[in-house]
Amino acid sequence: MKTAAIIGGGVIGGGWAARFLLNGWDVQVFDPDPEAERKIGEVLSNARRSLPGLGNVALPPEGNLSFHGSMSEAVVGADWVQESVPERLDLKRKVYQTLQEHCDPKAILGSSTSGFKPSELQGCASRPEQIVVTHPFNPVYLLPLVELVGTEANPPEMIAQAKEIITSIGMYPLHVRKEIDAHIADRFLEAVWREALWLVKDGIATTEEIDNAIRYGFGIRWAQMGLFETYRVAGGEAGMKHFMAQFGPCLTAPWTKLMDVPEFTDELVDLIADQSDEQSGMHSIRELERIRDDNLVGMMRAMSANDWGAGALQNAQDKEREGEAGLLSHIDQIGDLSKPVLTLNRTVPLDWTDYNDHMTESRYLDAFAQSTDRLMLLIGCDAEYIASGGSYFTAETHIRHIDEVHAGHSIQVRTQVILGAGKKMHLWHEMYEGDRLLATGEHMLLHVDLATRRSAPPAEHVEAALVKLATAHATLPAPDGLGRAIGAPR
């Protein structure tokens, strides 16, 4: 079990704690705020609600969370130390001096700083090679980007280790090749923020109208393609060169005030605060966080279907987690063939629930379909086999809904092969949360020649694997409900 120490438990530190904890790390927290435990507990509550449902494979068992009265206690045994104290260079340097007196010299000491360069942070350190910038984005437990910035003092193997750890907790390490104030992403944010302040001050737009311009327009495009790829598409068939030729001259026009800053008067602050209250004051911060998290999970899950952007990153992590979650990809990996096969191990995501606040009817079929796909993979009916022209089509399905399932529940499906000879594949799925039976699914599938779209015998290796499972499962008792029909007694 790996251990992370979190120094500073505010919004960002709490997000780091949740990200590490839900990915199986033990987490040791130090924050002098007497409310730190409550605040981090609320962040964790939101993270437990949203993060497990982002992917399609169960997260590892949650680590242990502990709070400590001093930094020296919090860093004992830590493999990773994440500093998220307020943005004051003198404070951060003082913190590093204390941390390095007590932490493992081989531990990585990452800073959440949004503006300081790593050379500034390393300035008074006894071991400068140990300190790097690892700047995340809120909410840390959902958004995957981490700007990783080092200096020549950081050995390449240390940077490689930092990348590996960041990737292992489902995040994307963007290695910034040269240190610069505010790194990369915050420089974009400052430019947009600066222009937004002028638009409000000059009475051109309200805070809500500016937010609408982003969330109904380019913000959605940026979320899945970024800046340059978006503009490449905007260039049409002629591509990026055409776009640059068409819109490049606009850079010389005085459209923006990026080099000018409005005076931060009390009047401007009150104006923005009042507009923001009118826009969003009907929601508490916790409500806004949950709305934000629901939207982020929905967008990133949508991108997973196209294996794109943040969705592609999540798919890659799901693939890494499959073995840890007990999901196998070939029949030869199964130790005991006589038991039902684990074909699904995941958490119910937020968008799988309905107006009754439990898993919607269609998602039971979705879960069982994923289980069928896993069984097909196990017997060799994989993407390569399907591309060669063979697959299985479902001919009949019967699902029994036995108990309620809610968002955040960890569900497992175990599959018994009832029949596997010839063209037919008869499967019995049972869905559980722990020992609680939630639903059963009975499915009859036929092997199909994709060229003719008609039933046809499977390849020998596929049929042999399926028969092997069916023969082993024949020793199991007949499932309760097998072959049952719907309808009242006559």
Please give the full DSSP string across 320-369, using - where no structure is assigned: HHHHHTT--SSGGG-S-TTSPEEEEEEE--GGGB-TTSSB-HHHHHHHHH
Q: What is the pLDDT of residue 279?
A: 85
- Please name which of 453, 427, 449, 450 lies closest in space to residue 440, comparing C-alpha atoms: 427
Q: Picking from 117-121, 128-132, 302-306, which range would have the lowest pLDDT averaged per residue?
A: 302-306
Q: What is the pLDDT of residue 164?
A: 97
- Please name which of 51, 13, 43, 47 lies closest in space to residue 29, comparing C-alpha atoms: 13
Residues 6 or more apart from 447 whose CB is under 8 A from it? 390, 391, 392, 423, 424, 425, 455, 456, 457, 458, 462
**Mean of the per-residue pLDDT values for the chain?**
93
Strand order in the sheet with 172-176: 65-67, 26-30, 3-7, 80-83, 108-111, 131-135, 145-149, 172-176
Q: Report the alpha-carbon distance of residue 386 to residue 405 in Å, rounded.
A: 33
Neighbours of 163 (CB within 10 A): 17
Distances 266 to 10, 81, 186, 196 between C-alpha atoms, Å: 27, 39, 25, 17
When pLDDT is averaged across residues 399-407 and rounded to a whole number, the result is 93
Q: Report the alpha-carbon distance of residue 426 to residue 449 in Å, rounded.
A: 18
- Please name which of 28, 179, 14, 8 lies closest in space to residue 94, comparing C-alpha atoms: 8
- Please name which of 398, 396, 394, 392 lies closest in space to residue 440, comparing C-alpha atoms: 398
The pLDDT of residue 246 is above 90: no
Instruction: For 324-348, write each residue's pLDDT tens digit.
Output: 899 999 999 999 999 999 999 999 9
Report residue 228 as tokens: 């340059």
Q: What is the pLDDT of residue 92?
A: 95
Residues 6 or more apart from 252 whose CB is under 8 A from it? none
Q: What is the pLDDT of residue 280?
A: 86
DSSP characters for 31-51?
-S-TTHHHHHHHHHHHHHHHG
State the pairing for strand pair 172-176/145-149. parallel
Task: Supply φ then ψ for residue 70, to 5 degrees.
Answer: -150, 160
Residues 6 or more apart from 216 whose CB is under 8 A from it? none
When pLDDT is averaged across residues 341-364 and rounded to a whole number, the result is 93
Q: Is 68 helix (H, G, I), strand (E, B) or coil?
A: coil
Beta-bridge partner residues of 428: 416, 442
Domains of the chain: residue spans and CATH? 3-182 (3.40.50.720), 186-282 (1.10.1040.10), 326-473 (3.10.129.10)
Q: Report the alpha-carbon distance of residue 185 to residue 151 in Å, rounded.
A: 19
Detail the DSSP E strand segments found in 331-481: 341-347, 390-401, 410-419, 424-433, 436-449, 454-455
Q: Report the alpha-carbon distance of residue 132 to residue 138 in Å, rounded.
A: 19
Using an 8 Å Cβ cutoff, are 183 and 135 in contact?
Answer: yes
The pLDDT of residue 490 is above 70: no
Q: What share of the chain is helix, strand, coil (3-state, %, to 5)?
A: 45, 20, 35
Q: What is the pLDDT of residue 236?
A: 84
Instruction: For 420-479, write each residue's pLDDT tens digit.
Output: 989 999 999 999 999 999 999 999 999 999 999 999 999 999 999 999 999 999 999 999
Q: Picking from 54-63, 83-92, 223-232, 428-437, which range would have the lowest pLDDT averaged per residue?
A: 223-232
Q: Residue 235 corresponds to which amino acid?
A: G
Q: Which amino acids are annotated as binding site, given as ranges?
A: 8-13
Cis geometry, peptide bond prior to residue 144 (ω within 30 degrees of 0) = no
Distances 257 to 207, 210, 254, 269 between C-alpha atoms, Å: 18, 16, 8, 19
Q: What is the pLDDT of residue 120?
A: 96
The pLDDT of residue 263 is above 90: no
Helices (H) and strands (E) in the chain, counts: 17, 14
pLDDT grade for 144, boundaries at 50, 70 and 90:
very high
Report residue 357 as tokens: 């606040």
Q: Report the alpha-carbon distance of residue 370 to residue 325 in Å, rounded.
A: 15
Q: Which amino acids are annotated as binding site for NAD(+), given as ranges?
A: 8-13
Q: What is the pLDDT of residue 488?
A: 58
45 burial level (CB within 10 Å; 0-12, 13-18, 19+): middle
pLDDT grade for 45, boundaries at 50, 70 and 90:
very high
Q: What is the pLDDT of residue 489?
A: 57
The residue assigned the tokens 């994709």 is: 450
